[in-house]
Amino acid sequence: MPSLTKIFGSHVFDLRTMKACLSKPTFNALKRAIDGSARLSLEEANEIAHAMMEWAVGLNATHYTHWFQPLTGRTAQKHDAFLTLDEDFTAIERFSGSQLIQSEPDASSFPSGGMRSTFEARGYTAWDPSSPVFVMQRSNVAVLCIPSVFLSYTGHALDKKTPLLRSERVLNQSASESLELLTGRKPRVFSTVGAEQEYFLVDQEFFNQRPDLIMAGRTLIGCQPPKGQQMEDHYFGTIKDRVLMYMEAVERELYRLGVPCKTRHNEVAPHQFEMAPIFQKANLAADHNQLTMDVMQKVAKEHGLEVLLNEKPFAGVNGSGKHLNWSMQTDEGTNLLEPGSTPHKNLRFLYFLVAAVHAIHKRGDVLRSTIASSGNDHRLGANEAPPAIMSVFLGSHLSGLLDLVESSMDLTSAVISEIDLGLAELPQVVRDTTDRNRTSPFAFTGNKFEFRAVGSSQSVSLPTVILNMAVAESLDEMNAMLETQKDRSEKSILSVLRHFIKRSKPIRFEGNNYADAWVAEAEKRGLPNLRTTPEALIVWERDDVREFLTRSGVLAEPEIEARMHVKLEGYAKEIDIESSTLLRMVDNHVLPSSFRHQTHVAQSIQALAQATASAGMDAAGVLGSQAAYLDKISSHIARLLASRDELEAKVEAAPSFEHAKESAFYYRNQIVPVMDRVRSDCDSLESLVDANDWALPTYHELLFML
């Protein structure tokens, strides 16, 4: 196999390739477009498009597509051939600048929250030059993919990418002004993101026998096996050969697409794994994470596997998240959240750190809403996932440093200590300025913040948008206060920091976020605990949140309304699909299996009674215990029938999805609790029914046979 460096980016029309294909003036114009400082002329776009086509045809591409990210959370594409006919009706390959810059998909069939209807179908995709085009090659079919934004006819964003690009502009403006105040220099600033991707793998044969996995992406029933993750023997364990071959194939595909996969390992739960990339600019990182999910699912099928990206595919073991590692960087390569060896002397670092902490304190409820989903409702607060309460962990060193600033004490030197292993032959281990807190939803981890509450299946775009906006808002407030000071001395800067440290102190928590005591403590501190998706999403109804989202132009009022409506409606529809699937599984699998087992037990008791009677034996004791066992099975069946009928009645009474808010709360309050009871009854029967009678692959097979 070729080395990684030889295949990396081989299917990407990157700067190096563009420089070789384009004239110098056009290449420089494209770089300015990528930086957002200028627009391309049609003549320049024509040259770029022609070069792209020739490069893509060299990789056997016959079609191109504007690759975009609608509000479904997935990617979308419509393929057009390079083929056209000249005036003599001769077939030729052609790709123009206008075709590169803009396309026109149907906007009525994507979720739009009412911004578009069936009779208002027009929408546009527009090329995003800041994310390089690439050729996706699967099963000997190659397509030139053009990362794009998706807009309605009225100009409103119908996608995940447009608000992200807008938020980057806002963050750059605020952060560069901060740097000018602090240092006298004004470099460009952008956010960086690294999205760790957790996932489960199951055998495709078992997957295809589970209607719940096919329809809902998670198991709606399933009795717990004797062993789950309690032995703690899977995390970082030896990767099975079949899984390793799959991981290698995924990584090779992603390397060709320029996705910098760095780490792979077993996660905590059986059959759970993780891959993590190198950090990139937020827009590119978001695109690459969407690509990663697409490639993972396609490659899995080639290996007889299925990838489960649902946040909680199995009850009783860890769910899957997507840890969003976020920081800020200048175009000069400086990480603004890098503390260095003496963070107490690094006022620039402290300024941006305090801004981030204050941002979470002020907008934590909005950030919580960005990761709300039916899958994440099952994950947050369960089996090592952070709770729904937003808090910030800094570690004892940095937390103590902020306490020093708050108390107006001198910032004495905080020496970074080394860990003495007591083994002369091993090198010393440098102790970081901050520990790790796996229970915290928003933890500082050395030179970045790790937002651990993002769900495995979710796009990282919206959480990054709110992070960018919230930090920009905090920086604006801090900048305004600093500008009122007489000078920009260290004393003035510390005075500003002190003010915002005091204001945001309730959000800082160094303890165990899983503990029940934290729920009570968070309530005392005034921190919201938005446990479920509907109550998290309606935060966007508040006037102060609307003003925050619209003030900087990142989201317009119709775009806010659309996103809230789409997510509420999507939540209700997801629960509706799950409840309907559960009813069908009960009727087609669980009850028939239970009835067969019940019949076998009854026939066994009857046969035993006849045998003992003909032999003149007194078998009352034996028959009594077996009759009790039969009664136990019958009682569970009766309870299941009752809960099943209740669920069916609740589903039939559900309000229309057009009333998104009402529908979402109805499904959360009326349907989900009954689904839980149905599941409990099913799982009780699974533990009793003969394995030969049980019609579904069990957790034992799904989690331990790969």
Q: What tens digit of pLDDT does each residue of 544-565 get?
A: 999 999 999 999 999 999 999 9
| C-alpha to C-alpha distance for 607 and 245, rounded to whole angstroms | 53
Encoded tokens for 487: 């000078």
Q: Does residue 470 have a pLDDT over 70?
A: yes
* Cβ–Cβ under 8 Å, residues 221 and 211: no
- CA 49 from chain centre, in angstroms, equals 33
Rounded to whole angstroms, what are the CA distances from 571 to 216, 312, 333, 551, 690? 12, 15, 41, 28, 36
pLDDT above 70 coverage of the chain, percent: 92
Residue 104, pLDDT score: 79
pLDDT digits (tens, 9 = 90+) for 313-358: 999 999 999 999 999 999 999 999 998 877 667 889 999 999 999 9
| C-alpha to C-alpha distance for 334 and 186, rounded to whole angstroms | 12
Q: Which fold has domain 197-320?
A: Creatine Kinase; Chain A, domain 2 (3.30.590)
Residue 376, pLDDT score: 94
| C-alpha to C-alpha distance for 397 and 444, rounded to whole angstroms | 11
Residue 618, pLDDT score: 65
Q: What is the four-CA torsion angle of 17, 22, 25, 28, rounded to 10 degrees?
A: -20
Q: Does residue 87 have a pLDDT over 80?
A: no
Q: Does residue 373 have a pLDDT over 90?
A: yes
pLDDT digits (tens, 9 = 90+) for 111-162: 777 665 656 667 889 999 999 999 999 888 999 999 999 998 888 999 999 9
CB atoms closer than 10 angstroms to residue 496: 21
For range 178-204, the mean pLDDT: 96
| C-alpha to C-alpha distance for 650 and 640, rounded to whole angstroms | 15
Q: In 335-460, which residue ranges form alpha helices assigned H by DSSP? A: 347-369, 374-379, 396-406
Q: Which CATH number applies to 573-704: 3.40.640.10, 1.20.120.1560, 3.30.365.10, 2.60.40.10?
A: 1.20.120.1560
pLDDT digits (tens, 9 = 90+) for 88-100: 777 778 899 999 9
- CA 80 from chain centre, in angstroms, equals 30
Q: Does residue 227 have a pLDDT over 90?
A: no
pLDDT digits (tens, 9 = 90+) for 390-423: 999 998 888 988 998 888 766 554 444 443 434 4
Q: Which of 209, 356, 338 is nearest to 705 (CA)?
A: 209
* Cβ–Cβ under 8 Å, residues 477 and 463: no
Pairing label, strands 189-195, 324-330: antiparallel
CB atoms closer than 10 angstroms to residue 442: 27
| C-alpha to C-alpha distance for 298 and 290, rounded to whole angstroms | 13
Strands (E), 538-585: none
Report the SS3 class of residue 521: helix
| Strand (E) or helix (H) holding 684 | helix 672-686
Q: What share of the chain is helix, strand, coil (3-state, %, to 5)?
A: 50, 15, 35
CB-count exposure of residue 413 (10 Å: 0-12, 13-18, 19+): exposed
Residue 193, pLDDT score: 97
Residue 580 or 621, more confident: 580
Residue 214, pLDDT score: 97
- CA 230 from chain centre, in angstroms, equals 26
**pLDDT tier at 237 (50, 70, 90 boundaries)?**
confident
| C-alpha to C-alpha distance for 23 and 194, rounded to whole angstroms | 34
Q: Which of 339, 430, 429, 443 is nearest to 395 (CA)?
A: 443
Q: Does residue 2 have a pLDDT over 80?
A: no
**pLDDT tier at 234 (50, 70, 90 boundaries)?**
confident
CATH superfamily assigned to domain 4-158: Glutamine synthetase, N-terminal domain (3.10.20.70)
Encoded tokens for 638: 């009766």
Q: Is the pTM of this model over 0.85?
A: yes
Encoded tokens for 444: 């500082």
Residue 427, pLDDT score: 47
pLDDT digits (tens, 9 = 90+) for 114-127: 665 656 667 889 99
The overall average pLDDT reported for the chain is 90
| C-alpha to C-alpha distance for 14 and 10, rounded to whole angstroms | 9
* Cβ–Cβ under 8 Å, residues 500 and 474: yes
Encoded tokens for 271: 């059959």
Residue 624 or 181, more confident: 181
Residue 57, pLDDT score: 95
Residue 414, pLDDT score: 45
Residue 415, pLDDT score: 45
Q: Does residue 673 have a pLDDT over 60?
A: yes
pLDDT digits (tens, 9 = 90+) for 423-452: 445 444 344 555 556 788 999 998 999 999
Strands (E), 196-321: 197-203, 261-266, 272-277, 280-281, 305-308
Buried b (16+ CB within 10 A) or exposed e, 414-439: beeeeeeeeeeeeeeeeeebbbebeb
* Cβ–Cβ under 8 Å, residues 441 and 321: no
| C-alpha to C-alpha distance for 602 and 16, rounded to whole angstroms | 75
Domain ranges, ordered by start, for the chain: 4-158, 160-194+321-413+431-555, 197-320, 573-704
pLDDT digits (tens, 9 = 90+) for 9-44: 999 999 999 999 999 999 999 999 988 878 899 999
Q: Which residues are bridge partners to 190 per DSSP?
A: 329
| C-alpha to C-alpha distance for 348 and 330, rounded to whole angstroms | 13
Rounded to whole angstroms, what are the CA distances from 309 to 77, 139, 216? 21, 23, 11
For range 512-529, the mean pLDDT: 92
pLDDT digits (tens, 9 = 90+) for 584-638: 999 999 999 999 999 999 999 888 888 877 776 666 666 888 889 999 999 999 9
